[in-house]
Amino acid sequence: MTDLVDRLAIEVPSWAFGNSGTRFKVFGSPGTPRTVQEKIADAAMVHRMTGLAPVVALHIPWDRVEDYGALRSYARDLGVELGTINSNTFQDDDYKFGSLTHLDPKVRRKAIDHHLACIEIMNQTGSRDLKIWLADGTNYPGQGDIRGRQDRLADSLATIYAQIGPQQRLVLEYKLFEPAMYMTDVPDWGTAYAQVSTLGERAVVCLDTGHHAPGTNIEFIVAQLLRLGKLGSFDFNSRFYADDDLIVGAADPFQLFRILVEVIRGGGLAADSGLALMLDQCHNIEAKIPGQIRSVLNVQEMLARAALLDIESLTAAQESGDVLTANGVFMDAFYTDVRPRLARWRAERGLPEDPMAAYAASGYQARIEAERVGGTQSSWGA
């Protein structure tokens, strides 16, 4: 168990530390970061409390700064690295009818150029991954030509991919619906896989756990994409109804366990796997830093349980057609309480045994609430 838990490194999203909300209301909260640097400082605090979050993902242009080299040094001084660069082609009037799929070559060019600018940033931050999530799609049958949109998407992605460096990757995220209601241009893993496969080896798929229809067997998709060598990253979160972006493992810890079983089975934690385990969450009403601490602990807890799976007994039961024993072995691992072991794991590494309590006692929250007056609302609600 310890060996696998030792390998766990989770990337936290910068946007989880800003104020966030729904289309109905964005609630402000004291201590909210006003700058990218303050978001990184909060992320570093999550790492300091847990030892699990050494990387921070950025979103461009939300996290735009003059000097990314300096931002990288700033992050390193706080003990974290800059990670995935997430592009944003969903908050500009020009993209009303699409970005990389748009009929107008000028708009497509603008969206492509944004991604090339993101690659420039990656060169300065040392980031490996350019993650593309598109809001492109249509609201009504007949509104757009499905095939034409796929062709334009393929062209645009190929232009971007041509600029991806030898150590970099293009990661394409899929989403069933929203903001487009009838059809999104990258709705599922099959489409994402088809698009990235034609690009080349350094183009892979991002699986956001909140982006599927209810009842989808997500661990199957994990198994398949890992089998094909095309699972590049996760955006972890929880959903009850739609793209809820709730704390990972909150809605369905058993699903998270099943996903992590497949991650281990598929070699996703091997040193050379390249799989990025990222959170993509927005804390609308809960406190943000403890929300991220709880999130990374949830992943660690379910990973530790998955690591306890007795593969030998499971394989024996599977091979002898013993359905109930196989399922029993699987459930035994899931039902094992690993919290005391993980508290020991932390103590042995000089980390707080109880990170939530340690954060509450740290005084950090009171300090940022006093210092940061006029924190920014997230770009989502803007």
Residues at the site binding ligand AOS, with contacts judged by CB under 6 A: 15, 59, 86, 133, 173, 175, 208, 235, 243, 280
Which of left, alpha, beta for 238 (phi over 0: left; psi -120 to 50: alpha)?
Answer: beta
- Whichever of 219 and 280 has its CB closer to Zn ion, that residue is 280
Select the binding partner of residue 15 from Zn ion, ligand AOS, none (C-beta < 5 to 8 A, by kind).
Answer: ligand AOS
**Cβ proximity of 203 and 163 under 8 Å:** no
Q: How far is the CB of 341 from ligand AOS (least distance, A)?
A: 32
Q: How far is the CB of 86 from ligand AOS (least distance, A)?
A: 5
Select the binding partner of residue 38 from Zn ion, ligand AOS, none (C-beta < 5 to 8 A, by kind).
Answer: none
- Whichever of 74 and 234 has its CB closer to ligand AOS, that residue is 234
- Whichever of 11 and 235 has its CB closer to Zn ion, that residue is 235
**Cβ proximity of 310 and 332 under 8 Å:** yes
**Cβ proximity of 249 and 297 under 8 Å:** no
**Cβ proximity of 382 and 61 under 8 Å:** no
Give the amino acid at 35.
Answer: T
- Whichever of 87 and 101 has its CB closer to Zn ion, that residue is 87
Place of tokens 């970061």: 33
Q: How far is the CB of 134 from ligand AOS (least distance, A)?
A: 9
Q: How far is the CB of 173 from ligand AOS (least distance, A)?
A: 5
Q: How far is the CB of 18 from ligand AOS (least distance, A)?
A: 10
Alpha helices in 228-354 (DSSP H): 253-265, 288-307, 311-319, 323-335, 339-348
- Whichever of 179 and 200 has its CB closer to ligand AOS, that residue is 179
Interatomic CA distance for residues 189 and 173, integer angstroms: 8
Select the binding partner of residue 185 from ligand AOS, Zn ion, none (C-beta < 5 to 8 A, by kind).
Answer: none
Interatomic CA distance for residues 40 and 308, integer angstroms: 33
Select the binding partner of residue 364 from ligand AOS, Zn ion, none (C-beta < 5 to 8 A, by kind).
Answer: none
**Cβ proximity of 127 and 169 under 8 Å:** no
Interatomic CA distance for residues 161 and 154, integer angstroms: 10
Q: Which residue's CB comes closest to ligand AOS?
A: 133
**10 beta partners:** 277
Cα dihedral value 65, 70, 74, 75, nearest 10: 70
Torsion angles phi and psi, residue 97, rounded to 5:
-110, 20
Interatomic CA distance for residues 269 and 272, integer angstroms: 8
In the complex, the residues that contact Zn ion under the rule CB under 5 A are 208, 235, 243, 280
Q: How far is the CB of 321 from ligand AOS (least distance, A)?
A: 41
- Whichever of 63 and 235 has its CB closer to ligand AOS, that residue is 235
Q: How far is the CB of 84 from ligand AOS (least distance, A)?
A: 10
Interatomic CA distance for residues 332 and 334, integer angstroms: 5
Interatomic CA distance for residues 208 and 139, integer angstroms: 22
- Whichever of 42 and 243 has its CB closer to Zn ion, that residue is 243
Q: Which residue's CB comes closest to Zn ion?
A: 235
- Whichever of 173 and 301 has its CB closer to ligand AOS, that residue is 173
Q: How far is the CB of 280 from ligand AOS (least distance, A)?
A: 5
- Whichever of 248 and 338 has its CB closer to ligand AOS, that residue is 248
Q: Closest Cα to residue 111, out of 160, 44, 161, 162? A: 160
Select the binding partner of residue 129 from ligand AOS, Zn ion, none (C-beta < 5 to 8 A, by kind).
Answer: none
Select the binding partner of residue 86 from ligand AOS, Zn ion, none (C-beta < 5 to 8 A, by kind).
Answer: ligand AOS
Select the binding partner of residue 283 from Zn ion, ligand AOS, none (C-beta < 5 to 8 A, by kind).
Answer: none
Strands 183-184 and 137-138: antiparallel
Q: How far is the CB of 320 from ligand AOS (least distance, A)?
A: 42
**Cβ proximity of 12 and 63 under 8 Å:** no
